[in-house]
């Protein structure tokens, strides 16, 4: 099955996507991860998007739709795709619909992860991730272990995202409300939307997502 995780920055989309990859053999397609990888490897595209990302603005539709198209053409996801952080605009949502039709695939479910804004600011400004496996840590609720080794993979490569600061987060939130939140209505009208409480514990959110997916199967 193919699903979208929709929600503001810090809603926990990446964390839940990784759980679904482990448990259901799905393929996670995160445009944020793809763009960060392009920056790290120093491609022309990576250089073009760096400033936009650091400010917390959206990269052009053309670039992100191109990234998703490439992945869909090269991957063969037996367990289906999890779109994480894509689509973020109505144009991206339309493009994704067309790409899936061209592949003879469906969009089965859009999970909206609801989190209040104060919690997002707290989560994001305290967030760090393991550079090796993507495990997410939080200074308050899940601090980096004293031995500085990732609890998931043992690596010692903890990173803070350049855009995880309060100023960039405000811009990212504004981009979410102006450009991405209309997708909630868009997918509701299509009958694909399921909403979960993203503020619950990680395991409870996973349980709510599993039950939403069962209803769409």
Cα–Cα distances in angstroms (integers) from residue 11 to residues 14, 41, 42, in the given order: 9, 27, 29
Asked if 59 interacts with ligand AMP (CB under 6 A), we say yes
Check residue 134 for interaction with ligand AMP (CB under 6 A).
no
Strand pairing class (81-84; 109-114) = unpaired
For residues 42 and 174, what is the distance between their CA atoms, to the nearest angstrom? Answer: 28
| Piece of 84-92, 111-119, 150-158, 191-199 that binds ligand AMP (CB under 6 A) | 84-92
How far is the C-alpha of 26 from the C-alpha of 1, rounded, in Å? 8
The question of whether 123 is a catalytic residue gets the answer: no
Q: Are 101 and 205 in contact (CB under 8 A)?
A: no
Q: Which residue from 5, 7, 8, 9 is in contact with ligand AMP, where contact means CB under 6 A?
A: 9
CB of 164 to ligand AMP, least distance (A): 9
Spatial CA neighbour of 209 closest among 196, 200, 199: 196
Q: Counting contacts by CB under 6 A, is residue 85 touching ligand AMP?
A: yes
Segment 136 to 165, residues that bind ligand AMP, using CB under 6 A: 163
Q: How far is the CB of 151 from ligand AMP (least distance, A)?
A: 22
35 binds ligand AMP (CB under 6 A): yes
Q: In the annotation, is 47 catalytic?
A: no
Active site (annotated) includes residue 160: yes
For residue 74, count CB atoms less than 10 angstroms from its CB and return exposed for 0-12, middle for 13-18, buried for 19 or more: exposed
Q: What residues are labeled active site?
A: 13, 88, 127, 160, 172
Instruction: Report the interface residues with ligand AMP, using CB under 6 A.
Output: 9, 31-32, 35, 52-53, 56-59, 64, 85-88, 92, 163, 172
């Amino acid at each position: 099955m193919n699903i979208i995780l929709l929600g503001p920055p810090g809603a926990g989309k990446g964390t839940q996507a990784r759980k679904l990859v482990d448990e259901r053999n799905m393929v996670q397609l995160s445009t944020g991860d793809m763009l960060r990888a392009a920056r790290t490897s120093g491609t022309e595209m990576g250089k073009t998007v760096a400033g936009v990302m650091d400010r917390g603005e959206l990269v052009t539709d053309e670039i992100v739709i191109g990234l998703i198209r490439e992945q869909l053409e090269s991957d063969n996801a037996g367990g289906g795709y999890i779109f994480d952080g894509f689509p973020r605009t109505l144009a991206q949502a339309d493009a994704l619909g067309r790409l899936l039709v061209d592949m003879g695939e469906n969009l089965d479910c859009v999970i909206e992860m609801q989190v209040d804004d104060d919690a997002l600011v707290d989560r994001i400004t305290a967030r760090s991730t393991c550079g090796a496996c993507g495990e997410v840590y939080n200074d308050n609720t899940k601090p980096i272990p004293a031995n500085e080794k990732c609890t998931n993979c043992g690596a010692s490569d903890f990173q803070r995202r350049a855009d995880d600061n309060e100023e960039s987060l405000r811009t990212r939130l504004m981009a979410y409300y102006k450009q991405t939140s209309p997708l909630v209505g868009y997918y509701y009208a299509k009958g694909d939307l399921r909403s979960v409480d993203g503020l619950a514990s990680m395991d409870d959110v996973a349980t709510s997502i599993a039950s939403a997916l069962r209803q769409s199967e």
